[in-house]
Structure 1
Amino acid sequence: MKKVLPIAIVLMGSLSFGAIANNSHMNMSTNVAQSNSPMNQELMDSMNKMHENMAKGMNSANADVAFAQGMIAHHLGAIDMAKIELKYGTDPEMRKLAQAIIDAQGPEIEQMQKWLEKNNTNMQNN
């Protein structure tokens, strides 16, 4: 009994946290969907495009190829969102972060694309 009670408390707490996190995510999605501003529409469009392309990229049976393809889509989505921040955002810290994301992820995309050019063909021939 002494062991069961602490375990039950931990499980209840983790379930509660999961419900709160899920509810917060749902509220965020609802709030964004209710806003019809051009900025919100651009963010939603970029996120939907990113998720669709990530799913397509992860269809490979090879883990390395799926990772690279999925991450390229993810990074392109991050760059799109960063560009939207630069277009609409006014906070200097967030604008600086957006530019840093663009600067960092562009070369990473190039690295993964070059890897895919070299390795994806070899893997398809095996």
Structure 2
Amino acid sequence: MKQSLLLASAILLFAAPIANAEEGSFPKVCKSDMATDMSADHSKMMTGMMQMDKDMMQGMMHKDPDVAFVCGMIAHHMGAIDMSKVELKYGKNAWAKEMAQKVIDAQTREIAEMTEWLKTNAK
């Protein structure tokens, strides 16, 4: 349990800065303040993100670091799919909607692959 907690903490503390360093900074426009009057679509997206965070942390607590990674990624992908569904339902921009569909398609396949991997590798 202690090893899993350390792994989860390490991932949370170091993964985001490493990813940002390799891929560039998080766009400033994405850091802007949220309007105080959140629309229904924003509210649904935020609720989905909170569930994803909870599931991801739980999955990352597995004692096997490989299984912890895969479980965390499944939760992460599920959150991305939920966000993409909100975009498809409420979004107005054609490019953003196309990107949302690509996310759904790719990450649905990846979830299936990871779930199969868990069936044979998780103990």
Q: What is the TM-score of this pair, normalised by structure 2? A: 0.72
1:91, 1:37 → 2: CA distance?
Answer: 17
Which portions of structure 1, spanning 4 or more consecutive aligned residues, are displaced by more than 6 angstroms? none
Higher relative contact order (CA closer than 8 Å, sequence separation 6+): 2
Residue in structure 1 matched with residue 12 of structure 2 by the alignment: none
3-state secondary structure, aligned to 1:59: coil
Q: Give the structure-1-normalised TM-score.
A: 0.71
Q: Unaligned regions of 5+ residues in structure 2, if any? A: 1-24
State the alpha-carbon separation in 2 of the partners of residues 35 and 95 from structure 1.
Answer: 23
2:42 counterpart residue number? 40
Determine which structure has the larger helix proportion and give its number: 1
1:31 alignment partner, SS class? coil
Specify the alignment match of 1:89 in structure 2: 91
Letter in 2 for 1:95: K
Amino acid at match of 2:34: N
Residue among 26, 31, 35 paired with 2:34: 31
**Root mean square deviation, CA, Å:** 2.1
Report the identity percentage: 42
Tell me what 1:11 maps to.
Answer: none
1:36 CA displacement: 2.8
Q: Distance in 2 between matches of 1:82 and 1:31?
A: 19
